[in-house]
């Protein structure tokens, strides 16, 4: 299946769940913090206004009892801040309707004046009272409340009290600092809990992934253990898929074997009949029967290899196989006095069947032994992971005459032999190339440092 190029599609489920949960929690906490801050701001303003209205009520009671504003005691509020010049706390009484307008104010105003909230288009909430923010005579932001007062004799007054708004802002800022600190700690705790929940919740998937990896590495042949109800069907389907794959491969091998028996027996009969005659017809029959037998062997071997390449969980240690091939070919070519050196890590493993590995590397070593003068080197190593897949490389080098670059593609086509004096059917390198392709690998030929030919075989590994 082709993997999407969009990076987000490659992010694990656990990371997605953690990121989305943490982001959602942060968004909710930030939204809640702003809402709570606004609610607290309004509560702080109401509390501050209630303090100011207490002063207004005291002033209104004093005016009503004396029936004049002239007799209001500047020290009557009992708060020294109203007597300190430009302290940020002020009171003012306007006698409405008088000409010129009489205004009495606290000593703290120091000759300044408080504006009317009505002139600033602040609406009255109960018909006679208003609250709002103004800029005071000292250029500070003030919270101002005012109330219209009408006495029984018809005299009308506008009583105003202003307090330093910095007190409100400082109270709100202290609340915000505590709120953001608490919410930051809460976000950290929620993040840790989310990570724990995700890891705990995805633990069965990790176990299932580990089981599948064990099957792929050949360490197990089916998924074992108990899984939650929502994952157990997946584990069962994987086991059924593995069993079905094995059944299909077994049937394919049986059918290939039956076909081989059905074809080879008549060919053997034809060859036996033709071998006792020396006519041109018998010679032609033997020639064509040999070609048919090679073709049958070729296609049957491809069918067997294709079935084996599709098997699940088959893994082969290659170091013992290379050692076995070394012993075999030293005996076969004992008369040539060959030296076959092997360099292979003991933990290198081929993801496939040992018979296929023997066929591929055996053909490469056999081809090298036919042409080598004295030395053959077999080097095996793991390759860097490519697109999430692991590969190994088998390099077979000899000190023979080598092969021109323009002829290398020809020798990997079935039936092609560049030297008829050397025994063989011309299928060796072609079989190797086809088997490697079936496993998703490749075969390449190049010049060897020993002076002969070097064959590079790339195969899947763990």
Question: How would you write the pLDDT of the chain (462 residues) with one tens digit per residue?
Answer: 444 445 566 777 788 888 888 889 889 999 999 999 999 999 999 999 999 999 988 888 887 777 665 556 666 677 888 889 999 999 998 888 765 668 888 888 888 889 999 888 888 877 789 999 999 888 899 999 999 888 877 788 889 999 999 999 999 999 999 999 999 999 999 889 988 888 888 888 888 877 777 666 656 667 777 777 777 788 788 778 777 777 776 776 676 667 766 776 777 777 777 776 677 777 777 777 777 776 676 666 666 655 555 555 577 888 999 999 999 998 888 888 889 899 988 888 888 888 888 888 998 999 889 888 889 999 999 888 877 678 899 999 998 888 887 777 777 665 444 444 444 444 567 778 888 888 888 888 988 888 889 999 999 887
β-sheet bridge partners, residue 95 = 102, 157
Residues 35 and 158 in one domain: yes
Q: How many CA atoms lie within 13 A of 260 on its CB side?
A: 15
Residues 428 and 295 in one domain: no
Residues 351 and 379 in one domain: yes
Let me know: does 452 contact 400? Beta carbons within 8 Å. Answer: yes
Q: How many domains does the chain have?
A: 3
Domain closes at, from 307, 323, 339 = 307
**Distance between CA atoms of residues 3 and 176, nearest Å:** 47
Nearest to 158 by CA among 251, 96, 248, 236: 96
Let me know: does 330 contact 338? Beta carbons within 8 Å. Answer: yes
Give the Å distances, CA to CA, from 145 to 45, 116, 128, 158.
11, 10, 11, 10
Domain span holding position 361: 315-460
Residue 231, classed as helix, strand or coil, is coil
**Distance between CA atoms of residues 89 and 107, nearest Å:** 10
- Which helix (H) or strand (E) segment is 400 a member of? none
Let me know: does 86 contact 138? Beta carbons within 8 Å. Answer: yes
User: Is 182 a domain residue?
Assistant: no
User: Is 35 a domain residue?
Assistant: yes
Backbone angles phi and psi of 124, in degrees to 5: -85, 135
**Distance between CA atoms of residues 21 and 168, nearest Å:** 36
Domain closes at, from 131, 150, 172 = 172
Residues 49 and 161 in one domain: yes
Residue 267 structure tokens? 């060919």
Residues 420 and 378 in one domain: yes
Nearest to 337 by CA among 367, 365, 375: 375
User: Is 272 a domain residue?
Assistant: yes
- DSSP code of residue 383: P
Residues 403 and 343 in one domain: yes
User: Is 11 a domain residue?
Assistant: no
Give the strand pairing for 349-350 and 453-460: unpaired
Residues 251 and 373 in one domain: no
Residues 34 and 91 in one domain: yes
């Amino acid at each position: 299946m082709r993997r999407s190029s969009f990076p987000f599609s490659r992010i694990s489920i656990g990371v997605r769940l953690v990121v989305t949960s943490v982001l959602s929690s942060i968004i909710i906490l930030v939204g809640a913090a702003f809402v709570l801050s606004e609610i607290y701001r309004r509560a702080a303003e109401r509390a501050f206004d209630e303090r100011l209205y207490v002063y207004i009520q005291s002033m209104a009671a004093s005016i009503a009892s004396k029936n004049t504003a002239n007799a209001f005691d500047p020290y009557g509020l009992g708060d020294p801040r109203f007597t300190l010049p430009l302290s940020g706390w002020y009171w003012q009484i306007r006698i409405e309707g008088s000409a010129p307008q009489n205004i009495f104010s606290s000593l703290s105003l120091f000759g300044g004046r408080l504006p009317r909230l009505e002139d600033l288009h602040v609406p009255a909430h109960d018909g006679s009272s208003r609250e709002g923010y103004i800029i005071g005579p000292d250029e500070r932001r003030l919270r101002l409340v005012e109330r219209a007062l009408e006495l029984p004799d018809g005299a009308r007054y506008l009583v105003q009290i202003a307090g330093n708004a910095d007190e409100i802002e400082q109270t709100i800022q202290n609340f915000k600092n505590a709120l953001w600190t608490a919410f930051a700690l809460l976000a950290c705790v929620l993040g840790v809990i989310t990570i724990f929940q995700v890891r705990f919740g995805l633990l069965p998937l990790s176990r299932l992934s580990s089981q599948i990896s064990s099957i792929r590495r050949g360490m197990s042949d089916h998924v074992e253990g108990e899984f939650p109800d929502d994952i157990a069907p997946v584990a069962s389907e994987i086991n059924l898929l593995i069993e079905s794959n094995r059944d299909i491969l077994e049937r394919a091998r049986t059918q290939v074997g039956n076909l081989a028996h059905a074809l080879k027996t008549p060919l053997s009969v034809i060859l036996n009949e033709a071998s006792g005659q020396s006519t041109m017809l018998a010679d032609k029959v033997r020639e064509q029967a040999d070609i048919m037998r090679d073709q049958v062997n070729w296609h049957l071997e491809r069918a067997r290899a294709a079935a084996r390449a599709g098997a699940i969980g088959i893994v082969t240690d290659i170091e013992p196989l290379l050692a076995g091939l070394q012993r075999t070919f030293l005996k076969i070519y004992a008369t040539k006095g060959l030296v076959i050196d092997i360099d292979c890590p003991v933990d290198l493993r081929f993801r496939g069947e040992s018979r296929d590995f023997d066929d591929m590397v055996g053909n490469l070593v056999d081809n090298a032994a036919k042409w080598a003068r004295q030395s053959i080197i077999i080097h095996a190593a793991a390759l860097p992971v490519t697109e999430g897949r692991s590969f190994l490389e088998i390099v077979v080098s000899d000190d023979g005459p080598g092969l021109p670059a323009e002829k290398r593609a020809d020798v990997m086509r079935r039936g092609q032999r560049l030297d008829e004096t050397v025994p063989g059917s011309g299928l060796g390198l072609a079989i190797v190339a086809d088997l490697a392709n079936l496993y998703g690998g490749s075969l390449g030929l190049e010049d060897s440092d020993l002076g002969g030919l070097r064959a590079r075989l790339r195969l899947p590994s763990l």
